[in-house]
Amino acid sequence: MICPLCGNDQPIAPECARCGVIFERMHTLGRPRIVKPEPPLLEPKAQSAVQVQQALRKAIATRPAPLRHRQIFFVQLGRMLHSGVPLDEALGRIGDVVGRSAMGRATRAMAADVKIGVSLSAAMEREATVFDEVERAVVSAAEHTGDLSRAANRLASRVEEARRTSRILLGAAAYPIFIVTMSILSEPLPALVLSGFSAFLDAVWLPLTIWLTLLIIGLVIVPQLLARPSVRSLLLDALGRLPLLPILLRNRRYALAFDVLAQALEAGLPLARCLEISCRATGEEQMVTAGRMVALAVDKGASLADASLGLPGLDSASRATIAAGERTGHLPETFAELAKERAQHWQTQLKIAASAFGLVLTLGSAAWVGYSLVRQVQQGVAGPLSGLPKADLRELERALGPELFK
């Protein structure tokens, strides 16, 4: 610390060692200034390394959490809350379990927020890149009833269902990917027999590089982009314009919306608020706009069955079921059953679509390989030496004479 009267630099003390002034009695000159030690200067290379490390940490922090970590989070949260563990302590323990990942960083930050009085839903809103819209909406609804344990268990089941869907898609794509890879490798096999391994590599490296690049884009980059709500909304709007896909997307849309709506109604939220939350959970701008209009109609006194006419693609059977649940006063149970039914349709149609895509890709690969082999056989019959490199052909021409090559 530095004395404001004489400028003496000394350790922190109640009075100055040089002039004897008592710091607490000084009002006009102000309190002593405490000097923080400056960090040691780094070499340029060390500074650049620190900057790179900070950039990497920032990139990891904004990366969406994988489904496996989200499932661990909700399973452990439900168990700990059911056992009576305080929320901030449960979050801290979960952060230790998932380690130094995006989920671990977010969980430890949420534990610190909850410890100072922030609600769990507000803490999750700050980690919007880790938790999706449905998870944040369900937790927000569950906080009104205090039954976070049940909500966490339901979200864990939802994430497990998402992981099962991902495994279905990967399983359906694994065989076509294998077929395409083998077709790329087998198409230039005659060059391997006739001209050697170098000619085989020359023929296979370009298509194989293109194929591996497409695989990396489809399996790594695209899922990262789809984790962003704006990109996902644009993709869903584009897919909705293709034939047959609107049916698949409609079942996905209402499986999400009805599930969140059932949980929000169970939490005791107003119906208009529940409609807004559930439509926003789908991630589609069209549904968000429609949800606001339906909520406005309900606020003005319209029945939910009549107001649901504004929801895009909702069939008459679902509206009739909603009207029956509204008359009996069992809307949460009604929407839970509708969500389960839509989810089953979504899973069935997704399996069919994945199988059809795999079949088309397999047949296309087989046709391409067959055509390539037939073309190479025809070229070999028409000109047996056409598959040889030009250098070998020139050697044969010099050895046997040019008249044989006319």
Quote the pLDDT of residue 168: 73
Residue in the block written with tokens 């693609």: 313
- With a cut of 50, say whether residue 346 has pLDDT above it: yes
d(C-alpha 354, C-alpha 29), whole Å: 77
Q: Is residue 70 part of a domain?
A: yes
Tell which wins on pLDDT, 68 or 232.
Answer: 68
Domain edge (last residue) among 112, 138, 156: 156
Based on the domain organization, do 73 and 133 belong to the same domain?
A: yes
346 in the same domain as 301: yes
Query: What are 368-400's pLDDT values in tens digits?
Result: 777 777 776 666 665 555 555 566 667 766 766
CB 179 within 8 A of CB 366: yes
Per DSSP, the three-state class of 187 is coil
pLDDT band of 4, cuts 50, 70, 90: low
> Does residue 362 share a domain with residue 281?
yes
Q: How far apart are CA 121 and CA 368, in angstroms?
A: 53
pTM: 0.58
Pair (103, 233) in one structural domain: no
Average pLDDT over the chain, rounded to whole? Answer: 75
Looking up residue 125, the CATH number of its domain turns out to be 1.20.81.30
Residue 32's pLDDT band, with cuts at 50, 70 and 90, is very low
Burial of 106 (0-12, 13-18, 19+ CB in 10 A): buried
* Domain extent at residue 350: 228-379
Question: 3-state class of 72 per DSSP?
Answer: helix
Is 120 among the domain residues?
A: yes
Give the integer Cα–Cα distance in Å for 289 and 221: 29
How far apart are alpha carbons 275 and 260 in whole angstroms? 9
The half-sphere exposure of 127 on its side-chain side, counting CA atoms within 13 A, is 26
- Cα–Cα distance between 258 and 223 in angstroms, integer? 25
Closest by CA position to 250, among listed 356, 355, 349 = 349
Question: How many CA atoms, within 13 angstroms, populate the side-chain half-sphere of residue 41?
Answer: 2
Residues 308 and 365 placed together within one structural domain of the fold: yes
Domain stops at, among 132, 156, 180:
156
Please list, residue by residue across 4-34, b when 16 or more beta carbons sit within 10 angstroms of its beta carbon and e when fewer do: beeeeeeeeeeebeeeebebeeeeeeeebee
12 in a domain, yes or no? yes
Separation of alpha carbons 84 and 81, rounded Å: 5
8 plus 86 within the same structural domain: no
> 234 and 310 share a domain?
yes
Lowest mean pLDDT among 16-30, 37-51, 146-160, 239-253: 37-51
Provide CB contacts within 8 A for 307, sequence distance 6+. Answer: 294, 297, 298
Residue 31 shares a structural domain with residue 70: no
Q: Are 314 and 279 in contact (CB under 8 A)?
A: no
CA distance 217 to 226: 12
| Residue 299 within a domain | yes
Residue 296 lies in a domain: yes
Of the candidates 353, 349, 345, the residue with the CA atom closest to the CA atom of residue 172: 353
Residue that terminates a domain, selected from 116, 132, 156: 156
Q: Per the structure, how many domains does the chain have? A: 3
Whether 329 is in a domain gets the answer yes
Name the pLDDT band for 10 (thresholds 50, 70, 90): confident
Q: 343 and 240 in one domain? A: yes
